[in-house]
Amino acid sequence: MKYADETLMAYADGELDAATRAEIEAEIARDPGLARAVERHRALAARVRGAYAAELEEPMPARLASLADKPAAPVADLAARRAGRRIGAGRWQLPAWSALAASLMVGLFVATLVMRGPGAPYEDVDGVLVARGELDAALTNELASRPASAGVSIGVSFRDREGGYCRTFRLQQESPVAGLACRSGGDWQVRTLAESAGQDGEVRTASSMPLAVLQAVDATIDGEPLDATAEASARDAGWKSSD
């Protein structure tokens, strides 16, 4: 072949100067093999681009969306951030209410987190914390792409390793909390709940997710979060796991 494959690639990518481009075009007109090679580069490029197109549509977690709004904060490196997230790893992976209670005792405020009585957003059902009221309604009906209608905003939605649906949420109340809830038999079981403001002196915006919740997502998620389309169809199908 007269041209190196790298040159054909650069041609397919529109990276050549006008003179070389014209030269190659003349050659392509004569040589179907060359035309096929260029076509192959273009097809692969389109396929790769297409494979990542949907990712732009996925809802942005609030903690990222709000990054540019906050005043310049001292940069914590990724290692420090992850190390922070690891604190309590394992504890947060246990789904049961008992584990949740144990976590709560470690520096969280049980009384303000878990409100009791009528109108409370959770109910203790046989030792499992289940979403009720506006939290249940928001988890069932709201899409993450929508701004929070009332006191609840939805973060990311995804499937767990058993194929069930889980969603993160944030509850705006006197002391804001955030958590992870997973669908189970028509209910949303609250697997993780954490204070949503001012932990460990870290600068937080009102909408960022606490480390404990991120950690819980990490431990639960299978693959990637749902994109906006998948989220909407999961909701429309009533959050039933497919298998």
Site for another protein, rule CB under 8 A: 5-6, 9-10, 13, 15, 40-41, 43-45, 47-52, 54-58, 60-61, 63-65, 67-68, 72-73, 75-79, 81-82, 85, 159, 163, 214, 217-218, 221-225, 230, 233, 242
The nearer residue to another protein, 22 or 65, going by C-beta atoms, is 65
Nearest distance in Å: CB 242, another protein:
8
Quick check: 202 and 220 in contact, CB under 8 A? no
Q: How far is 116 from 66, CA to CA, in rounded Å?
A: 31
Quick check: 220 and 166 in contact, CB under 8 A? yes
Question: What values do phi and psi take at 182, rounded to 5?
Answer: -125, 145
Nearest distance in Å: CB 72, another protein:
5
Nearest distance in Å: CB 235, another protein:
13
The nearer residue to another protein, 108 or 156, going by C-beta atoms, is 156
Nearest distance in Å: CB 38, another protein:
13
Nearest distance in Å: CB 180, another protein:
13
Q: How far is 25 from 137, CA to CA, in rounded Å?
A: 60
Nearest distance in Å: CB 85, another protein:
8
Size (the chain), residues: 243
The nearer residue to another protein, 34 or 128, going by C-beta atoms, is 34
The nearer residue to another protein, 16 or 99, going by C-beta atoms, is 16
Q: How many CB atoms lie within 10 A of CB 224?
A: 13
The nearer residue to another protein, 173 or 241, going by C-beta atoms, is 241
The nearer residue to another protein, 56 or 105, going by C-beta atoms, is 56
